[in-house]
Amino acid sequence: MARLDSLVIFTTVVKANNFTNAAHSLGLTPSAVSKQISLLEDRLGVRLLNRTTRSVSPTEAGQLFFNRCNRIMEDLEEAEHMVKDLETSPKGTLKITATPTFGRSMLMKIFAEFLREFPNVNFDLILADKNLDLVREGIDLAIHLGSLQDSRLVARPVARQKVIMTATNKYIQENGLPRDLNDLNNHHLLMVSGIDYAEPRWIKRFLKEAGLQNKDRRFTVNDLDTMCEAALNHMGIAALPLYMIKNELESGELVHVLPDVVFPSRTIHVVYPENRYLSAKSRAFVDFIAEYFETNQLN
């Protein structure tokens, strides 16, 4: 039997925890599987499995060998998918995770346009206000805002998240238009806090540099959508991502306050595990979302 076949048998046995189940999935007899494991151990000169009458478990050497063998099997499987994808159009289910605010504000528009071009793709969207383990959760892509800390992930930048200060016309009419940052001390401020993806630390740095760190906030909330609603209900001036309020700005419902003030922007990345190839559907979506942001000038 070829060396690769023995690796397939070994990894299957470890995953199945016994010879009988492994033999059934491989289409072999338990005795044939056991014989191949013994031959493999003889060739390596080390015991790979602890055996009992009902189950098997890897020894320390067996676990190390399994980890490397399993990676080889995954690489071979991915190589097959990559070749197949070269000859096929995007199709199948694309599992994506994003923050709730970005998902509600942007992804439905992007999904709708993407599906008109690639109708054979389905979406499985997970909205979460924390970073998920993409490999463990079986997620193809993540939309990530800000810096990336996990070196196991590949991040492709697709846009910049531009933040602007805004308020309703009614608020401005009743309270006046701020002339500069210092003038914000005479206005009601709305603040977001307590959520990782909003990165309140850079907002705090901005407020400190602007001399507003001791300014009382009329309203503080740990949710960007709720803060946007507070601004739309004339409660004060808020710093919000442009993608959330583009329509309201164009309609005149919201006003860009202090347009000369530039907030620190953050990069929007599409993220995927470094050891996972990009399927046709994933590649198509990554390219599509980058073009969408460029076309709609949301950077």
Below-50 pLDDT ranges, the chain: 299
Q: What is the pLDDT of residue 75?
A: 73
Q: What is the pLDDT of residue 204?
A: 62
Could you give the C-alpha distances from 143 to 18, 28, 81, 171, 286, in angstroms and in order? 40, 44, 24, 34, 10
Q: What is the pLDDT of residue 234?
A: 95
Q: What is the pLDDT of residue 247?
A: 87
Distance CA 268, CA 255 (A): 24
Query: Is 207 exposed, middle or buried, given 0-12, 13-18 or 19+ CB atoms closer than 10 A?
Result: buried
SS3 69: helix
Per residue in 10-21, pLDDT tens?
Answer: 999 999 998 989
92-160+266-296 and 163-257 in the same fold: yes
Question: Checking phi first, is residue 160 left (phi over 0); if not, alpha (psi -120 to 50) or beta?
Answer: beta
pTM beyond 0.75, yes or no? no
Q: What is the topology classification, in CATH, of domain 92-160+266-296?
A: D-Maltodextrin-Binding Protein; domain 2 (3.40.190)
- State whether the Cα torsion 86-91-92-93 is positive or negative: positive
Per residue in 96-122, pLDDT tens?
Answer: 999 888 888 889 989 999 999 999 999
Domain edges within the chain: 3-86, 92-160+266-296, 163-257
DSSP secondary-structure letter at 215? P
The class (CATH top level) of 3-86 is mainly alpha
Q: What is the pLDDT of residue 160?
A: 83
Q: What is the pLDDT of residue 219?
A: 82
The arrangement of secondary structure in 163-257, i.e. its CATH architecture, is: 3-Layer(aba) Sandwich (3.40)
